[in-house]
Amino acid sequence: MTRRSQALRSLYPPIEPYAIHRVDVGSGHQLHVEEAGNPAGIPVVFLHGGPGGGIAPVMRRFFDPNRYRVVLPDQRGAGRSTPLGELRDNTTWHLVDDLEVLREHLGVDAWLVFGGSWGSTLALAYAQSHPTRVTGLILRGIYLVRRSERTWIYQNGLHNLQPEEWERFVAPVPRDERDDILAAYHRRLVGDDREVARRWAGAWMRWEAVNSSLTPDPSFIAALTDDDTALPAAQILAHYVVNGGFFESETQLLDGVDRIRHLPAVIIQGRYDLCCPPVTAFDLARRWPEATLHIVPDAGHSSLEPGTTDQLIRSTDRFAVRLSQPV
């Protein structure tokens, strides 16, 4: 064991929620929301990835339970929110509005925003829309849904690093549709034939899973490709990606950084992140010089890789000290 690995911080112990809510956000959508930690602690909202991914018990463990009031919502159509997999009235801006409904429902004046992967996208969109309601941001595995990022994952880029998995991913796609793999998948996933959609969802979610960490985790792959969860997750993810995250321009989140440059922020990025390459984090940090950028030298995309977990825990601990100090 190296000196560096001995010094790495690890997750806080497992903890159960002290409250579970069903929050009506309109249009027939109800959010499943958990609260964990200290009810009188520093408010922080955890924004899960995907989109369509949902929360998991391990996500409570990035925060000191004595110092934080941790709010963990399942986003529209995801996890235990209902209706599961619903695409109607489900855009980034609906999710931004949902966070405001939830904040007011819980009586929170302002909160720390913690988001990784798609969660970093939503965190930036929310903070830029409501900067006075944000005390800081912890962002990991940055994703801005730009065309270059979508092309890298789904058309021309990542296949060079994952050739055998790419062959599995494109196998269902007819050769005359392979000029737009994303569109081919989207058509089947949201089509009328549910059995076809389920088969394509399994292939889609395997591609997502194998690229989500430096070393693929068989249990994670099994969880993401499970028949009961793969289809709604794949449908929502494809819905958002095909629509470019519902942003007005390719650079909307970068152009909006000036609205939040006064907020303390940490950007944590794995050097070998396959699905969200470091160039995106670098582009964000270049537009946001006040933010602290940490490149983890031996990590991929997952928040549970040791070096990334270490940086996330150190960041939440530093924010706990900072946000506890009198203004």
Active site residues: 117, 273, 301
Alpha helices in the chain (DSSP H): 3-7, 92-106, 118-129, 147-154, 163-170, 181-189, 194-210, 218-224, 227-242, 252-255, 278-287, 306-324
* Distance of alpha carbon 60 from alpha carbon 303, whole angstroms: 12
Q: Which of 103, 107, 150 is nearest to 129 (CA)?
A: 103
**Residue 208 exposure: Cα atoms within 13 Å on the Cβ side:** 28
> In this structure, are residues 310 and 318 in contact, taking their beta carbons and an 8 Å threshold?
no
Q: Which residues are 293's β-sheet partners?
A: 267
* Distance of alpha carbon 169 from alpha carbon 185, whole angstroms: 10
Which tokens in the block code for residue 258? 């000036």
> In this structure, are residues 206 and 221 in contact, taking their beta carbons and an 8 Å threshold?
yes
* Distance of alpha carbon 113 from alpha carbon 110, whole angstroms: 9
Q: Which of 257, 224, 218 is nearest to 139 (CA)?
A: 257
HEC string of 18-70? CEEEEEEEECCEEEEEEEEECCCCEEEEEECCCCCCCCCHHHHHHCCCCCEEE
> In this structure, are residues 75 and 48 in contact, taking their beta carbons and an 8 Å threshold?
yes
